[in-house]
Amino acid sequence: MPFKSELDLTIGVIGTNVPRSSPCITWKNGHKTVLPAVHNEFMLNLCDHVDIPLIRYMAQLNTCESTSNNVLHLSGDTLQNLDVMAIVSDALSTNRCVKVTGVPYDKPQDDITTDYLDEHFSISPLRPVSIHDTEARYNDHADPIVFGNIKSFIESINDPTKIQSILDIPLAQTALPKYLRQIHPQNFTSKGWGLLSHAGFLSYPHHDAEGTLTWIRIESGIKFWAIFHLKGGSSDRIQLQHLSVRLADYNTHKEWILNHCDGEVIALHPGDMLILPPGIVHAVYTPVPSFCTGGHFYNYSCMHLTELSRYVDAEVARTSTNQDMEHALETLRRMVIALPYLSGRKVLHKRSLLSLCVMATKRLHYRAQGGSNECVEETETAKPCADIADIAFKFLGVSNRKRPGDILYKGDQFDPGQVIDRVALLTQFKLKLDL
């Protein structure tokens, strides 16, 4: 059990990173943290209305333990296991998160500094960035951005009047540990990012855009990552849509959330890595200045969850991150084109494969509300993708009489489906394609 001083995360933060008058809270996991405080000219805390009620809700959630049904816990040593990809894929494909402890990370000698970011991650102090600002978010929820650079952001970490975060500093050299990589490297050359946060910053409940899986590793600081599910483990498609929409506006839908939603808090410390399946609704509180690395990726075993997440974005949108993901359709098409050439050791499942082919060929059905025309445009990959998808559709029993939706929209939405006979599928590809 941690010492009491290790649980008190207000030490060194109050009066340095946040105002001395900042309120505090004790979480169900035993940690004591500050609550955010940004004051207006009348000395009213702008965080009282939205941020603090949501943090209080998160603080009373159960702590994620190794016995959790929603999170698979692994040690860093497990990454050397040749079977780790199958273990992780199986968990993610059934909508379970994966937490790995003891992963190598780049620890700063002391505080987070511009020299640390520049030396270890090639993040120049002069790099211009879009900064999510708590005061700007209060004034206009749709436009929480102020502009600056890495140097100005680091200098403001010790400004008690500001609470800010940079959500996606591009890190092209950042990648998953090699034992967890699965898709062609073309798809990941620019998907790594850094996340740099002041103490007291809250990311509201959301799921990540375009149905990607997300991984994150703590390099410095601590984050409390709350994940949310329907009570009883329900996977009803419409209720999952309600979950995304209503958690995004906690104060308005508080009663529904308390009646229908379960959650747990995953405490992430330096060397902890968390992998989220597509569509997991999560909120993140940062009690101390923190820096993380991470990225987005796709996984063949999770395409049914990717489809569900993109379906929600197309139906209601505004519940996902606002990151630019215009590459999504092109990536999915290339994943379909790669199907005849996948290693025979790769396990494919019926609902996941069907979901991939549907998303890659029904481009307009999965255009997120507010998405640009460029994200669904036709390219040179459209025709070969459609040819291969047609073979897969016939192999899966899809016809004019049995639509993909008849399979995808029914039953357990978290079930990837039956394992596919790869030999039989490859035989169909060889019969119809010039392989």
pLDDT tens per residue, range 211-252: 999 999 999 999 999 999 999 888 888 899 999 999 989 999
Q: Is the pLDDT of residue 37 over 60?
A: yes
How far apart are the C-alpha atoms of 67 and 390, rounded to whole Å?
A: 42
Dihedral sign of CA atoms 354, 360, 361, 363 in order: positive
pLDDT higher than threshold 90 for residue 316: no
Assess contact for 276 and 72: CB atoms under 8 A: no
Where do the domains of the chain lie? 67-303, 328-432
User: CATH number of the domain at 67-303, please?
Assistant: 2.60.120.650
- Interacting residues of 242 by C-beta distance below 8 A, sequence separation 6+: 256, 260
β-strand pairing of 145-149 with 164-170: unpaired
Q: How far is CA 133 from CA 18, 52, 164, 287, 289, in A?
A: 14, 16, 5, 16, 14
- Its pTM stands at 0.92
**C-beta separation of 99 from 266 below 8 A:** yes
pLDDT band, very low/low/confident/very high, at 184 (cuts 50, 70, 90): very low
Please list the helix, strand and coil fractions of the chain in percent, rounded to the nearest 5, in that order. Answer: 35, 25, 40
Q: How confident is the model at residue 179 (pLDDT cuts 50, 70, 90)?
A: low
Distance, in Å, from the CA atom of 434 to the CA atom of 209, rounded to the nearest integer, reads 36
Taking 50 as the threshold, does the pLDDT of residue 185 lie above it?
no
Arithmetic mean of pLDDT, 370-379: 66
Quickly list DSSP for 150-183: HHHHHHGGG-TT--EEEEEEE-TT----GGG--S
At CA 383, angle to CA 408 and CA 339, rounded to 5?
Answer: 55
* pLDDT value for 54: 96
Q: Is the pLDDT of residue 307 over 60?
A: yes
Residue 186 pLDDT > 50:
no
Whether residue 170 is predicted with pLDDT greater than 70 in this model: the reply is yes
C-alpha to C-alpha distance for 32 and 38, rounded to whole angstroms: 19
- Look at residue 190 in the predicted model and tell me its pLDDT: 45
Question: Which has the minimum average pLDDT: 5-19, 57-71, 96-110, 181-195?
Answer: 181-195
